[in-house]
A and B are shown apart, each in its own frame.
Chain A
Amino acid sequence: MLRLEYLRAVYSGLEKCLVVTIMGATAAELHSLGHRPNFFYLQHAMGLASSTGLGLALSLPNQKIVVFDGDGSLLMNLGSLSTMARYRPRNLVHVVFDNESLLSVGGFPTATSTGTDLEGIARAAGIPAVLTVRTVEDFSSAVKNALDGSQLTTIVAKVEPTGPAGYVTDLSLVENRFQFRRYIQSLKRS
């Protein structure tokens, strides 16, 4: 299954959420569906998308936060699962696109290709709700249930190791960051 199809299936449901993505294909694909001011693309600092989501979730307990993580990024910061589980914010949905590959830097296989089980790691870290999905239908309902529910959820979505031709968008990193913060501040005023 293609990550782009997963993203397309949940795109409309992200309108009221704050969304943080990892770098590379995930950022480029979400951007290609139509950028919104509530999307922040962390184009480097691998591993810290989930930490950013946790910081947002703890600071804004009444706001739904969605993180689009990846297997390569999460493997660089597995401790983040234990930190998220420790505080288990009810408003955080943590999606991990697992393509078993470091796609953006040349497609090198990650440890999930040789048996490392991110669902098992997340569950053992103490994340209260964890599941793996392999179809668009299952992904859509998992994200919807997590957003409608009130439990920290990690959704491991198995995807093919393919992505767009290029990763650079016309949105500068700093512009994205200021726009994202300004959007959040506008929510507080309204």
Chain B
Amino acid sequence: MPVSLASSKVIFNALKQCDVRLLSALPETWLVHLIRMADDDPETILVRLAKEEEGVGISAGAHFAGVKSAMLMQNHGFLGSINGIVSFAHLYKIPLLMLISYRGSFGERDPWQTQGGNVTEALLRAMCIPYSFLDEVESVEKRIRQAQTLAESSLQPVALLLTRDLMWEE
């Protein structure tokens, strides 16, 4: 499977550097290494979800508890979480660090991913969610740190889109 192990390691280590201790996740191809790393790490609480929206509540609970968290999901999982983001995270000013695999963009071969790719950025903008891209290894650590800093200072969701250039090797 040509999911980049090297990039996944850089992302996971960057999250650890930011003191992220709880990760919620729903499996998707690009996230398999990240989820395994979280599972293997005794310092990280990994919560495997049934549906991504649960992660909004779990991250809110962790925030109340003073534990930094992040959400790993595909962009379709973001689409499925929108009510939770609006009517919990936005309504109650909850910081969320969302790492979203950006499927359905340039280079996508799976036809079923393509509609989600079309609307992801438009929805992030419509929801006033600040977002940036993880697209090259060199800037991953800094960008994750910046995203978490903004989420915590603004008390709102912030998104990082994991791109094919970073996550896929072929």
Contact = CB atoms under 8 A, between A and B. Distances in A.
A80 B54 CA distance: 7
Interface size class of B (residues with CB under 8 A): 20 to 34
Contacts of A52: 57-58, 60-61, 64
Nearest to A77: B54
B34 to A, nearest CB: 19
B57 A173 contact: no
Contacts of A59: 21-22, 45, 61-62, 65-67
B91 A44 contact: yes
Interface string B13-31: 0000000011000000000
Chain A interface mostly helix, strand, loop or mixed? Answer: helix
Given A52-B58, A77-B53, A79-B54, A42 B88 contact: yes
Interface size class of A (residues with CB under 8 A): 35 or more
Contacts of B21: 59
Interface string A45-68: 101111111111111100000000
Interface in A51-102: 51-60, 77, 79-80, 82-83, 86-87
Interface of A: 18, 20, 40, 42-45, 47-60, 77, 79-80, 82-83, 86-87, 173-174, 177, 180-181, 184-185, 188
